[in-house]
Amino acid sequence: MKTLQLTKNGSPQEAFQLKELPNPEPEAGELLIRTECFGLNYADVMARNGLYNDAPPLPCTLGYEVVGEVEKTGKGVTQFAEGDRVLAFTRFGGYAEKSIADERTVVKLPPQIPSDKAAALATQYCTAYYAAIRMANIQKNERVLIHACAGGVGLALLDLAQYIGCETIGTAGSASKLEFISLRGVNHAVNYREKDFASEIRKITGEQKPVDAAFDAVGGKTYVQTKKLMNYGGRHVLFGVASRKTKGPKLLNTLKLAWSFGLSHPLEFLLGSRGVIGLNMLRIAEEKPAVLGEVMENLIDLYQNGHLNPHVYKSYRFNELSAAHEALENRKTIGKLVVFW
Ligand SMILES: NC(=O)c1ccc[n+]([C@@H]2O[C@H](COP(=O)([O-])OP(=O)(O)OC[C@H]3O[C@@H](n4cnc5c(N)ncnc54)[C@H](OP(=O)(O)O)[C@@H]3O)[C@@H](O)[C@H]2O)c1
């Protein structure tokens, strides 16, 4: 089978190689899936740059999710049969013509869900769902702040916050992204690269602590400013550090990143009656696969009922992987990037 292997860290042009590898064999409880397309996630960019601790050692195959057909089932698999069209959370190994998934993190795809949109429902919508519905437990009429709102997870959070009936504030880094999230119905769109987003949000709302739930995968200075906006009872979900520099000395960048979060003490959260919640979906997938499967099923239902509309920035061919990585790294993209074999 063809595999787009990550053979070294660096630019997308030099990091990936197309290789012919033997088909993997599904073990008990696993499925072998013939991939039609796989999705890209920002963590892939971090992994390519050698900044993602959870990635397997090189050479390795990245890729959290695939859409395809079940080719073979491992022992004990009861819920799937050969030929089923599925969406699978693969953990790693998705950038290949065939990949393996634990059957508990796979869902059957109704024919009316297009493959490219379906790919968005795995990592990005699952992260958004877990963060917003399970962890922050967002409520109708609450005010929700979504950073990098035009990204894959950002747009998923916007869909879910609108479904629940929240007032939404979205930040993004360019005029075209702000225009896009406005068209998607965000209540307030703020350019956090051009303006001090915290004072802008205070101006818009007329409140000093206007945010009930915040979703932050940028981190660093953005985290510190967001923390100060949190209302009593507020939930601030931290799920990424996109602000981490990808170029330059690794140790120095790590120290700078750690420092940029500032210092805090638990009493600050007790006295302020608010919390910071960390989320790593990979840990949830590994330790609670059945919960991830349940989240995927819920998302399929919400999609079928017209509540979700994943936006696909572009579908690429497998020989355009480096262009897709470059666009994602350079903050050019809105929504999901998908690669077809
Ligand atoms: N913890 C988890 O389990 C989990 C799961 C999925 C994703 N994530 C995290 O969630 C974030 C979004 O993931 P995604 O796959 O949906 O990607 P994405 O949001 O589509 O793309 C990343 C976006 O981050 C923003 N950004 C802010 N500062 C940046 C910087 N210094 N360099 C590059 N981009 C920067 C950019 O939007 P603007 O131009 O608008 O700033 C960029 O478009 C990522 O940080 C990712 O690591 C975490």
Question: Could you tell which of 179, 331, 333 is best to mutate to test the pocket of ligand 1, judged by most ligand atoms within 8 Å of the CB?
Answer: 331
Mutate to test the pocket of ligand 1, among 42, 121, 326 (most ligand atoms within 8 A of CB): 42
pLDDT in the model for residue 245: 84
* Per-residue confidence (pLDDT) for residue 144, from 0 to 100: 98
Least confident of 175-179, 262-266, 288-292: 262-266
Q: 64 CB under 6 A from ligand 1?
A: no
The pLDDT value recorded for residue 310 is 98
User: Of ligand 1's atoms, which has the minimum distance to the CA of residue 241?
Assistant: 45
Query: Is the residue at 128 inside a domain?
Result: no
Q: Are residues 111 and 7 in the same domain?
A: yes
What ligand 1 atom has the least distance to the C-alpha of 172? 40
Task: Return the pLDDT at 246.
Answer: 79
Nearest protein Cα to ligand 1, atom 9: 240
Asked whether residue 130 is domain-assigned, the answer is no
> CATH no. for residue 92?
3.90.180.10
On whether the CB atoms of residues 106 and 32 are closer than 8 A, the answer is no
pLDDT of 228-256, one tens digit each?
999 999 999 999 999 988 788 888 989 99
Within a 10 A sphere around the Cβ of 275, how many other Cβ atoms? 15
Do 172 and 274 sit in the same domain of this protein? yes
Asked which of 254, 278, 302 is the last residue of a domain, the reply is 278
Q: Is residue 47 part of a domain?
A: yes
Query: Rounded mean pLDDT of the chain?
Result: 96
- In this structure, the residue with its CA closest to atom 17 of ligand 1 is 42
State residue 53's pLDDT score. Answer: 86
Residues 71-86, mean pLDDT to the nearest whole number: 97
pLDDT, position 14: 96
pLDDT one-digit tens code per residue, 277-309: 999 999 999 999 999 999 999 999 999 999 999
DSSP-derived 3-state class of residue 18 = strand
Name the residue among 143, 129, 72, 134 with its Cα closest to residue 103. 72
pTM above 0.75, yes or no: yes
Boundary of a domain, candidates 243, 278, 313: 278
* pLDDT tens digits for range 53-73: 899 999 999 999 999 999 999
Q: What is the mean pLDDT of residues 33-54?
A: 95
Q: Are residues 145 and 274 both part of a single domain?
A: yes
Instruction: Choose the final residue of a domain: 230, 252, 278.
Output: 278
Q: Is 267 found in the same domain as 167?
A: yes
Q: For the domain that residue 174 is a member of, what is the CATH number?
A: 3.40.50.720
The residues that bridge with 191 in the sheet, in sequence order, are 172
Q: Are residues 83 and 26 in the same domain?
A: yes
Query: Do residues 176 and 299 both lie within one domain?
Result: no
- The distance from CA 256 to its chain's CA centroid, rounded to whole angstroms, is 24
Residue 49's pLDDT is what?
A: 94
Q: Are residues 260 and 169 in the same domain?
A: yes
Domain enclosing residue 194, as ranges: 136-278
Whether residue 129 is contained in a domain is answered as no
Residue 250 has a pLDDT of 85
Q: Provide the pLDDT for residue 178.
A: 98
Shared domain check, 189 and 64 = no
Domain count, the chain: 2
Are residues 7 and 117 part of one domain? yes
In this structure, is residue 167 part of a structural domain? yes
Whether 295 contacts 129, CB under 8 Å? yes
- Are 319 and 255 within one domain? no
Proportion of the chain above pLDDT 70, given as a percent: 100
Q: Quote the pLDDT of residue 249.
A: 86
What mean pLDDT is predicted for residues 208-214?
Answer: 98
* Contact (CB, 8 A) for 171 and 197: yes
Instruction: Give the 3-state secondary structure percentages of the chain, helix then strand then coil, rounded to 5.
Output: 35, 25, 35
> Does 268 have pLDDT greater than 90?
yes
pLDDT score recorded for residue 19: 97
Residue 25 confidence class, pLDDT cut points 50, 70, 90:
very high
CA of 327 to the centre of ligand 1 (A): 12
Question: Which atom of ligand 1 approaches the CA of 335 most closely?
Answer: 20
In a domain, 317, yes or no: yes
Which pLDDT band holds residue 4 (cuts at 50, 70, 90)? Answer: very high
